[in-house]
Amino acid sequence: MNYNKMIKQTLQAALAAGVLVSFAAVGVAQEASTTYRGAGRDPFTKYKPPVKRVKPVAQPVSAPSIEQRIAAYKTQKAIAMNAQLPAPKPTTALLLSEAQVTGIFRTPRGYAAMVEAKPIKLSYVIYPGEIFYDGMLVAIEEDRLVFRKETKWSDGRREMNVEMKALGAANAVKDTLTTANAPAATAPTTPAASKAKEEGAPAQDKK
């Protein structure tokens, strides 16, 4: 008798618990269905596709003007002299594209080269290891100079390349000197002109 009663009470409790769980699930479902979630855009406006951001293309950084570079060189030279340190070479203000090779020769220190700074029309003797604004002289060969050129990019990169400069102005200088030293050509003299010269009177053409 007590056993049957216990079973009956257990079934009633399980049924009541099942009913409570069902009501709770229905309440949650109703709450989920009635909760408003706003759209990502206004449905009454025209759709606009998202704008794609174009990554900027890196560009080589241009060097300052020759006047600005010379002014910076003078400032660095004054600072070095005040600190009793070796002054920087003038070539530190020059670009490799502004240097023209005018001569290569031997010295007790080895090969040396003569370059002309085209913007300011001044010449300098340089040796391997000479620093330029955008590079360095690496080696001097019999007919050319080898440089290591540095290119700075707008994204912060630094690119190193090898650049050659051939001896191209030596022949031009030699030809100029030869032309300057050559005797001027004299016009051929006619017999009438020679006779007039001897008599001291200008020659006249006979009509």
How many folded domains does the chain comprise?
1
Residue 199 lies in a domain: no
CATH number of the CATH domain containing 117: 2.30.30.830
Per-residue confidence (pLDDT) for residue 199, from 0 to 100 = 47
Residue 20 lies in a domain: no
Q: CA–CA separation, 38 vs 43, rounded Å?
A: 10
Residue 138 lies in a domain: yes
Tell me the percentage of the chain whose pLDDT exceeds 90. Answer: 43
Q: Which residues pair with 158 in a beta bridge?
A: 152
What predicted TM-score, i.e. pTM, was given to this entire model?
A: 0.56
Q: What is the mean pLDDT of residues 3-7?
A: 63
Domain coverage including residue 118: 66-180
pLDDT at 205 over 70: no
Residue 36 lies in a domain: no
Residue 96 lies in a domain: yes
Residue 190 lies in a domain: no
3-state SS, one letter per residue, for the chain: CHHHHHHHHHHHHHHHHHHHHHHHHHHHHHHHHHCCCCCCCCCCCCCCCCCCCCCCCCCECCCCCHHHHHHHHHHHHHHHHHCCCCCCCHHHHCCHHHEEEEEEEEECCEEEEEEEECCCCEEEEECCCCEECCEEEEEECCCEEEEEEEEEECCCCEEEEEEEEECCCHHHHHHHHHHHHCCCCCCCCCHHHHHHHHHCCCCCCCC
Residue 46 lies in a domain: no
pLDDT in tens, 76-108: 999 999 999 999 999 999 999 999 999 999 988
What dihedral angle (degrees, nearest 10) is formed by the CA atoms of 187, 193, 197, 199?
180
CA 102 to chain centre: 26
Residue 105 lies in a domain: yes
